[in-house]
Amino acid sequence: MNIPKLLRSFNFLYFALLAMFIPFLPVYLDNQGLSPAQIGFVVGTGGFITIVAQPLWGMISDRTKTIRKVLLFLLLCSAIVGYLLYVSSSYSQLILFAMLLYFFLMPIDPLTESLNFRIAESSGISYGSIRTYGALGYGIMALLTGYVMYYFGAQGLGLLFAGSSLLGFLVSWNMPDAPVTGKPVTLDSLKHFLSNKETLLFLLLVFVSSVPARMNDTFLGVYIIDLGGGSALVGQSFFLAAISEILVFALSFWWLRKGKELIIIAFAGAFYFLRFFISAWVTDPQLLTYLQVLQLFTFPVFYSAAIQYLYSIVPEEWRATGQTVLALLFFGVSGILASYAGGAIYDRFGGKTFFLCVSAMSFTGMIFGLILYRIYGRHSRRGEHAATL
């Protein structure tokens, strides 16, 4: 059994599901007649659900020492709920099924990333060589979803989502579980991890940097529509963004250096600022679509460095939960502020002011990353937890 090959296939299918959900839920809600403020409310409330769901399923995985069985259950539930979401039209049904999908689909992300990192370590291959296929799946499905919406209507997403979920279920059925640490899972070890000053500042950096990224993810599709583009162009924009990630993930073994993660995160923050600042002044939806190739220097750089830094300071037995905390900040807590505040800003001031605000937030994240690198980057305290636990 080729374990990395199965995991690559699963990454392709799971991130394809995210491509149908994260960028196209706002577009679907806009298609159903919701305002940007209402869209922000739905996505922001989903962030609250994610806050509860990701730690819950992460701790269940750590306690039961299995990732695979948890993934199987979550995928099956996601297939059912996702289909119901994309065939619904009433406001109450949209809210209900969107919240349920946040509960079942979003916790799969940190579990998958934990599986990626553990199996990459045990197999002697790079994390990026696995995660690359997630970017490929995200990009291809984003492109396909845009055309499905264009030719078959928004409701055409229901069968596509359910079918992709079931394929992911079949692949994960044949996957082995991740290698399990022999260390006991204790609340004291987690308390020590979360009480460390460097850890808390790092998590704050992730939050500050992820808010503008999540605001862009939520409202980019709506902005393209407002500029006169269609759902097919939305799909193309997320396709270009995702495809540009592939080379970065694939070459992560070459550019991702231990001890340099914080300066790499600051580098990503600089390109986030550049990308969003330019977006504020673009009025051609096609040009805005091409601009998404700057994803090459933003999300894959930021997230790869953040995961490596996290895994160097988190207690081994709490890795799945530590990964959940990272994903919780990037997709959950930050998503709440991004959706509520972003929806209000966009609704009142329009897309240009929205992206100027987003670029200012990214600039703040870049400066914060440079400050943390100055404090911690030159005297890494890796292994401190292992020595004190």
pLDDT digits (tens, 9 = 90+) for 280-317: 999 999 999 999 999 999 999 998 898 888 877 776 66
348-365 residue pLDDT tens: 999 999 999 999 999 999
pLDDT, the chain, mean: 85
Regarding pTM above 0.85, the answer is no
Query: How many Å apart are CA 15 and CA 338, to the nearest integer?
Result: 21
Q: 3-class SS at 257?
A: coil
Structure token pair of residue 170? 């079949």
pLDDT at 285: 96
Kind and range of the H or E run holding 284: none
Query: How many Å apart are CA 81 and CA 98, to the nearest integer?
Result: 8
Query: How many Å apart are CA 238 and CA 236, to the nearest integer?
Result: 6
Q: Which residues contact 310 (CB under 8 A, 6 or more apart)?
A: 202, 322, 323, 325, 326
Is the pLDDT at 132 greater than 80? The verdict is: yes
Task: Return the half-sphere exposure (C-beta side, CA atoms, 13 A cut-off) of residue 360.
Answer: 6
Query: How many Å apart are CA 56 and CA 205, to the nearest integer?
Result: 23
Burial string for 220-238 (b: 16+ CB within 10 Å, else e) reads bbbbbbebebebbbbbbbb
CA distances from 338 to 67, 108, 352 (A): 29, 21, 16
Q: Which of 1, 368, 25, 343 is nearest to 171 (CA)?
A: 1
171-230 residue pLDDT tens: 989 887 765 444 544 556 556 666 778 888 988 999 999 999 999 998 999 999 999 998
Structure token pair of residue 284? 């051609």
What is the rounded average pLDDT of the residues 244-265? 85
Structure token pair of residue 174? 């044949």
Contact call for residues 313 and 193 (beta carbons, < 8 A) = yes
Contact call for residues 101 and 95 (beta carbons, < 8 A) = no
